[in-house]
Amino acid sequence: KAQMTSAMSIFHRMTGAFLAAGICMLVWMLLAAASGPDAYATFATISDMLVFKAIYSAWAAALFYHMFNGVRHLLWDMGYLFKLKNAFTAGYIVLLLTLASTGCFVWNMFF
């Protein structure tokens, strides 16, 4: 049976890989900005499409999860949260903070 801590660890690795892939979008934006206003206008038009906003939202969720879960791992490295109850509580806090942060990001992007 999968444990919450092991599932979160696996998801941490998956979000790290997704974040690395998402860097391509950032590079595309920077290259477009460096290439001039026409190239950037093309990027802005394409990136304003709903499918890209969904990708940005997923990328933001991965970023928030990876960040908050990384803090949880740092606390473990410092010797905190080793009791099973504390590990579960910290896991739920990571998930709650991820949902709240992603919700704020998506709200600002769409509204």
Global pTM? 0.87
> Is a pLDDT exceeding 70 seen at residue 98?
yes
Interval 19-70: pLDDT, tens = 998 899 999 999 999 999 999 999 999 999 999 999 999 999 999 999 999 9
Give the count of beta carbons closer than 10 Å to the beta carbon of residue 68.
19
CA proximity to 29, closest of 15, 19, 41, 18 = 41
How sure is the predictor about 109, in pLDDT bands with cuts at 50, 70 and 90? confident
> Is a pLDDT exceeding 80 seen at residue 2?
no
Tokens of 23: 């860097």
